[in-house]
Structure 1
């Protein structure tokens, strides 16, 4: 349920929610590890005069993870950059149809990119290349590109499906996020602040 209405594609919605939790866990862990790794390396360099030999390589690995997992997360939250000057001037039904076409086309493009990325990962894996410092298989770095692009393709496919119901006036930029210039997370934070302020005034 959402705002008193039954959300269509409920099974896909559960998958989307599960994927979202995994994305948040991976992104949060990646950013925290980068911070810890960087701080430890700086501390080691200036206090013990000895850098962590794998620090730079680990950060590069984590940046790839955060970047491509973040791509799917941004799509899921509907916070990706859009050029919408002409789109915004169109009638609601036309904009909804455009959103379906845009989301479906982008989903296909992301799927194609994920396929080519997978082929590249397979080539790297077959050559047995390893990273210089950590001595890990190099393909483990690039496999996150495939995962991120595939998840982004899935999110855009959900967006296209979500907008197929023309009985609804709302236009969705992701499975659950309505097309709006207001950041949903900022709006939720403001709403919580106003609710807390009202409760304090009542007390």
Structure 2
């Protein structure tokens, strides 16, 4: 299921927030990747013609930051973060359920703490008044994606905590049920 068809498994207002974040992530990631590809191709063509785009490297750096921090929220939504699950998988269901609630809640709190620290860093950089040499825009404009990404990821893990508290199953995210997909092994 792609994010344009994303339907939240959360009730009421929480479901509205979940769907809104999914749309924000999809737009940011799509825009970032498309702009980076277009910028890189244009710069390669420009080099062949003997005229490089002087701000291309700075623009790609900004887009990498955007894609990275929008991507952490996207990965959290789809349960795609790396996890070490050997002990977790060996636990009985009730223990796994409690651990998932604890893991999601602690991760959410950590993401909000990182939001706070990255926002402080952003404000510090904004206070310095530095400009990017080629683009001539304030340097903090490209850092703004860090607190936004951490914030969206914190919300996503918070929603996962709530989903696990409300549902009888164990959820890695609001849209991904715990377990392994055996269909890949069956195709071999």
What does residue 139 of structure 1 align with?
A: 140
What does residue 151 of structure 2 align with?
A: 150
TM-score computed with the length of structure 2 as normaliser: 0.89
What does residue 57 of structure 1 align with?
A: 58
Q: Is 2:32–2:66's contact at 8 Å kept on the other side of the alignment? A: yes
TM-score computed with the length of structure 1 as normaliser: 0.83
How many Å separate the matches in 2 of 1:102 and 1:7?
A: 19
Q: Is 1:117–1:145's contact at 8 Å kept on the other side of the alignment? A: yes
Q: Is 1:13–1:175's contact at 8 Å kept on the other side of the alignment? A: no
Q: Aligned runs of 1:173-192 on 2, under 5 Å?
A: 173-182=172-181
Instruction: State the aligned residue count.
Output: 178
How many Å separate the matches in 2 of 1:38 and 1:70?
A: 20
Q: Aligned runs of 1:73-152 on 2, under 5 Å?
A: 73-152=74-153
For the aligned residues, what is the CA RMSD?
Answer: 2.0
- List runs of 5+ in structure 1 lacking aligned partners: 1-5, 191-203
What does residue 35 of structure 1 align with?
A: 37
Deviations 1:45-92 (A, max 9, x none): 01x211100000000000000000000011011111110000001111
**Bigger relative contact order (CA 8 A; separation at least 6):** 2
How many Å separate the matches in 2 of 1:10 and 1:90?
A: 32
- List runs of 5+ in structure 2 lacking aligned partners: 1-7
How big is the shift at 1:7? 4.6
Q: Is 1:114–1:147's contact at 8 Å kept on the other side of the alignment? A: yes
Match of 2:144, SS state, is helix
How big is the shift at 1:165? 3.0
Q: Which has the larger radius of gyration?
A: 1
What does residue 197 of structure 1 align with?
A: none
How many Å separate the matches in 2 of 1:104 and 1:177?
A: 16
What does residue 194 of structure 1 align with?
A: none
Q: Is 1:77–1:174's contact at 8 Å kept on the other side of the alignment? A: yes
Q: Is 2:76–2:153's contact at 8 Å kept on the other side of the alignment? A: yes
Q: Say if 2:171 is the partner of 1:172.
A: yes
